[in-house]
Chain A
């Protein structure tokens, strides 16, 4: 149902004439041939700043009704439907759970809802939410990382399960296994170009040297030249350190 100006004006003019909200609701439904709920009426009044003086039915009365009628129903959904029909409300099972606990009503169990939940548990929430199982060789994007990961095994350990695409492809191109000290860079700075010529293996220490000498953002020279320079620097550094260690011993 759509709320228009005529209906709002009608509510404004008739709210004083009715002694309760229930009466106003019934009159409204009769006038416009509608079947709106109590919640819908209250929300419309709130939106349009129409103050309703009287509550439809107090919570005490609702609780009393529940206490008196709980024996007539076997399932909580049935009593919920009867409750909504009787009080013209839009209550749900969550509200009933709270009422049941707060007032110790001892309402019947929601057998049908429990059965549905059990069935969903068997199906698994992954399938219910539309997730699909990834096969070996499939790509996934994780977090803010631009480079995708490739699934390589069904291992429980995440680091064994997924490998960065550039590392995976480098291993495939050159038929070698990379260690944790190796890293693969893109020579043309394009993270989507996975061609054999564009992938280059370098040590993490070389990368650190490149970063510390602020050579990472140098635009006047190509990356391979800078990497070679840093490898040279790393070589000198390692030799010096080896000599120092030997001298110390």
Chain B
């Protein structure tokens, strides 16, 4: 997670600096520069989205495990209560 975070941050800073250094005339002469930056930008967006999907998937798995454990605990407690009731009778 840390790696992607760093990649996105560094790429963004570098690209902003690069674009700020260029004038409109220069970009007009070399339109591929802007195109390349745009492609990189889309690629980084895909990375961010993938990262978020992975994070949500992991979160969902953890939640499901937590709910399963809770259900199991509730089942055990119910059995325990039934046993105690029988003992009292």
Contacts and interface: CB of A to CB of B under 8 A. Distances in A.
B5 interface: yes
A73 interface: no
Given A220-B54, A221-B4, A228 B12 contact: yes
A162 to B, nearest CB: 34
Interface stretch (B16-24, B62-70, B71-79, B81-89): B16-24
Given A221-B5, A232-B12, A235-B19, A246 B38 contact: no
A218 interface: yes
Task: Indicate the size class of the contact surface on chain B.
Answer: 20 to 34
Interface stretch (A181-189, A195-203, A236-244): A236-244
A225 interface: yes
Contacts of A91: none
Interface centre among A229, A233, A246 (most CB of B within 10 A): A229
For chain A, which range describes its interface: under 10, 10 to 19, 20 to 34, or 35 or more residues? 20 to 34
A233 to B, nearest CB: 6
Nearest to B20: A235
Contact of B19 (A213, A218, A239, A246): A239
A45 interface: no
Interface in B29-51: 34, 37-38, 41, 44-45, 48, 51
Nearest to A225: B9
B21 to A, nearest CB: 11
Given A231-B12, A239-B34, A219 B24 contact: no
Given A215-B48, A228-B9, A233 B24 contact: no
A224 interface: yes
Interface in A188-217: 213, 215
A225 B20 CA distance: 18
B16 A232 contact: yes
A16 interface: no
Contact of B34 (A218, A219, A231, A236): A236
Nearest to B14: A232
A92 interface: no
5 contacts: A219-B55, A229-B8, A229-B48, A236-B37, A243-B34
Top 9 closest A-B pairs, CB basis? A220-B55, A228-B12, A225-B9, A232-B12, A220-B51, A229-B12, A235-B19, A232-B15, A225-B8
Interface of B: 1, 4-5, 8-9, 11-13, 15-16, 19-20, 22, 24, 27-28, 34, 37-38, 41, 44-45, 48, 51-52, 54-55
Given A235-B16, A239-B22, 20 more contacts: A219-B52, A221-B5, A221-B8, A221-B52, A224-B9, A225-B5, A225-B8, A225-B12, A226-B8, A226-B48, A229-B44, A229-B45, A229-B48, A231-B16, A232-B16, A232-B19, A232-B41, A233-B45, A239-B24, A239-B34
